[in-house]
Amino acid sequence: MDKYTMLKKIYQHPELNSDELQIICSAHDKVVMKKGDYLLKEEQVPNEYYCLESGLIRSFATNSEGEEVTTGFFSSDEVVIEVASLFLRTPTKENIHTLTDCVCWKISLDTFQQLFQKIPGFSAWGRDWMSEVLFSTKQRSLSMITDSATERYLTLRKEHPEIIQQAPLKYIASYLGITDSSLSRIRKEVANKT
């Protein structure tokens, strides 16, 4: 897939015309990563974000007991970013690394900000994207409180089957807020019902 076709999927917005999309897309550089590569490590301040063309990426933080807790997954056609650290210019508490070989398109913060100021449709896209992320984060927070572990697993399986297929079980379990053994039991129960 060519760069423009891939990035257009992410940046598609009614207020952006094809010339503006072309300018935005041309500001991205291709980055190919191997499984296990880090895009961001704890205590770093990122200077860019990525648009993921192919592969699976995980974000995680380390809790007070020194255990890794998965905070998110990124799959094809998603923006890979640690928003607060990037825009507030503060050291991150998260790590972001590849779970598979990945192809990404990177844009620097400086370039993003220039385009954001220059192209009104890009600003509109950014506001809409941010609203979507905020909504999704709120839904996940509520789900962790109101839904059972089985319901959270079934939702993840339905909405993001690529995560279930490609991510190690321990990462999925920690993302769902359960133990590996609980996840194994849930998977067995679900499989027996289908």
51 vs 88: CA distance, rounded Å: 20
Find the DSSP H helices in the chain.
Answer: 3-11, 18-26, 83-88, 109-118, 120-146, 149-159, 161-166, 169-176, 180-193
Q: Are residues 37 and 129 in the same domain?
A: yes
Tokens linked to 68: 């890794």
| CATH number of the domain residue 127 falls in | 2.60.120.10
Locate tokens 């009614």: which residue?
Answer: 14
Q: Are residues 135 and 157 in the same domain?
A: no
Stated as kind and residue range, the H or E segment containing 15 is none
Tokens linked to 110: 């400086």
Locate tokens 């449709």: which residue?
Answer: 121
Report which of 148, 149, 140, 151 is spatially closest to residue 181, judged by C-alpha positions: 149
Q: What is the 3-state secondary structure (H, E, C) of 85-104?
A: HHHHCCCCCEEEEECCCEEE
Q: Are residues 31 and 124 in the same domain?
A: yes
Q: Are residues 15 and 26 in the same domain?
A: yes
Q: Are residues 45 and 60 in the same domain?
A: yes
pLDDT digits (tens, 9 = 90+) for 36-46: 999 999 999 99
Q: Are residues 105 and 152 in the same domain?
A: no
pLDDT digits (tens, 9 = 90+) for 92-141: 999 999 999 999 999 999 999 999 999 999 999 999 999 999 999 999 99
> What's the whole-number mean pLDDT along residues 10-29?
96
**Residue 89 belongs to what domain range?**
3-146
Please tell me the total count of domains within the chain.
2
pLDDT digits (tens, 9 = 90+) for 149-181: 999 999 999 999 999 999 999 999 999 999 999
Q: Are residues 122 and 170 in the same domain?
A: no
Report which of 125, 131, 97 is spatially closest to residue 112, judged by C-alpha positions: 125
